[in-house]
Amino acid sequence: MDLHNIRQDYSKQELSPDECANHPIVQFERWLQEAMMAEIPEPTAMNVASVDSTGRPSSRVVLLKEVNTEGFVFFTNYHSRKGRALSTNPFAALNFFWAELERQVRIEGRVFRLPEAESDAYFATRPYTSRVGAWASNQSEIIENKGVILKRAALFGATHPFDVPRPPHWGGYIVQPDCVEFWQGRPSRLHDRVRYRLENDVWIKERLAP
């Protein structure tokens, strides 16, 4: 399979530091809103990369559930592979790629668990079946077959037919960024890259070579 000649020239928009907001969260919200208005499939899907205690990296796609002045929020099983990695090495890199807009956003920062009350509040908004599923799945563990999960889901559903409490092993994380890069595809691979770097609690904007 020859992949050498698969390429696309980007030319839809430009990006300069002068046009960007002074704060990366504000700039991110602008781009996310444009991605949503463009009806891009799964605009909140982001790749989350973590590194475990042995230095081995891993990545997976999860959904962004909130962005605020503090950072980027997602929810998961604390006992999953990413949860175990974040417990020993509390740093992560996020990546959003909106191909239709020829854009990506790269985010790096320290990760903190959300307070239990905030995880409880979000968990209560999830569909009933998703709440049962959080109890049924020992995420990232080896199982004999799919029937194991279905039986566990049926058991927890019978135990909690109406109200499903949040499992203690499930909750939210917030990535507090110290580096955010906005990438806009341009012709001839001369892409526009604007990086925000946090230095002494001040965000510094700078253009990077493509």
Query: For the chain, which residues make up each domain, given as ranges?
Result: 17-118+168-208
Binding residues for substrate: 7-10, 65, 122, 126, 130, 189-191
Binding residues: 7-10, 60-65, 75-76, 81-82, 104, 122, 126, 130, 139-140, 183, 189-191, 193
CATH number of 17-118+168-208: 2.30.110.10
Which residues of the chain fall below pLDDT 70? none
- pLDDT of amino acid 157: 81
What lies within 8 Å, CB to CB, of 176 at 6+ separation is 70, 71, 109, 110, 111, 112
22-28: which pairs have CB atoms within 8 A and are 24 or more residues apart?
22/203, 22/205, 23/196, 23/203, 24/177, 24/180, 24/182, 24/196, 24/203, 25/67, 25/68, 25/69, 25/71, 25/177, 27/180, 27/182, 27/196, 28/67, 28/105, 28/180, 28/182
- pLDDT of amino acid 171: 97
DSSP 100-160: GGTEEEEEEEEEEEPPHHHHHHHHHHS-HHHHHHHHH--TT---S-HHHHHHHHHHHHHH-
- pLDDT of amino acid 160: 84
Measure the CA dihedral 40/129/66/79, to 10°.
-110
- pLDDT of amino acid 66: 98
- pLDDT of amino acid 71: 98
- pLDDT of amino acid 182: 98
Binding residues for FMN: 60-65, 75-76, 81-82, 104, 139-140, 183, 193
- pLDDT of amino acid 77: 96
**Nearest-angstrom CA–CA distance, 144 and 167:** 23
